[in-house]
Amino acid sequence: MTAVKKHISSEAVSNYFRSLAFSLYTMRRPLDGFWDLVHEKRGSMAAAHTIVILSILVQTVYVTQSNFWWIDIPMEAFSSVYLVLNMVLPLLLFSLANWCLTTLFDGKGRISDIYMAYAYAMVPQTLIRIAIVPMTFILTADEVMIPIMLFQIGEVWFVILILCAMKQIHDYTFGKALLTTLVSLVAIGVMVFIFLMFFAVVSDGIAYFYSLGQELMFRIRRG
């Protein structure tokens, strides 16, 4: 018992924290970092999940706690479900779409690698959001350019990280990484469209049979 405990506390925990801290390295040295992340097993799924959960928490704080001139939503319209889906769906859909695509085009990465890379790429954006929240309380709306610029830097950084990750995980050239990433976005669009159509058709079908049943009941009752 104590052996297991000791094993967890020493080896796994330190590995976990090392892989979590490695996200700060991928952020600064994306090409090197994302190669080691997958091929040298420097990253871990546990750390990736942690980053996703922390990002969701940060996003919640960012949306609800920023000063009103930066983000102003009526609190009764705030939906945590929507927020979580907004964060998680792109991640899952991108992992799936990109994996479907890259397996056909000699990508080396597995779906878990893509998930991990995406999660690690979210780190700078999340850190910048943490920085923006207090900043909105010491700046005025006239100085809005500063947080806007930071936010945009975060977005560009994210895109660069994703591209580097795609290149290194799948062992692609840069052009191919760019192409597969763009096509993955199209694939996400197709998937969303099919989902929506599926649900629309199903709900229409249900409505059809429901009204058919109602009609039948009316006729039977009237005799």
Is residue 140 within the footprint of another protein (CB under 8 A)? Answer: yes
Structure tokens at 101: 């695509």
**Listed ranges 48-56, 140-148, 167-175, 210-218: which one lies at the site for another protein (CB under 8 A):** 140-148
Q: Which of 31, 131, 141, 159 binds another protein (CB under 8 A)?
A: 141
* CB of residue 79 to another protein, shortest distance in Å: 15
Cβ-based neighbours of 205, under 8 Å, separated by 6 or more:
none
Q: Which is nearer to another protein, 104 or 138 (CB)?
A: 138
Determine the Cα–Cα distance for residues 101 and 64; give it in Å rounded to an integer: 37
Is residue 75 within the footprint of another protein (CB under 8 A)? Answer: no
Determine the Cα–Cα distance for residues 190 and 100; give it in Å rounded to an integer: 13
Q: Which of 1, 4, 77, 145 binds another protein (CB under 8 A)?
A: 77
Q: Which is nearer to another protein, 2 or 142 (CB)?
A: 142
Is residue 74 within the footprint of another protein (CB under 8 A)? Answer: yes
Is residue 175 within the footprint of another protein (CB under 8 A)? Answer: no
User: 142 to 171, contacts with another protein by CB under 8 A?
Assistant: 142
Contact present, 133 and 145 (Cβ < 8 Å): no
Q: Is 32 exposed, middle or buried (0-12, 13-18, 19+ CB in 10 A)?
A: middle
Is residue 138 within the footprint of another protein (CB under 8 A)? Answer: yes
Neighbours of 113 (CB within 10 A): 25
Contact present, 151 and 132 (Cβ < 8 Å): yes
Report the interface residues with another protein, using CB under 8 A. 68-69, 72, 74, 77, 138, 140-142
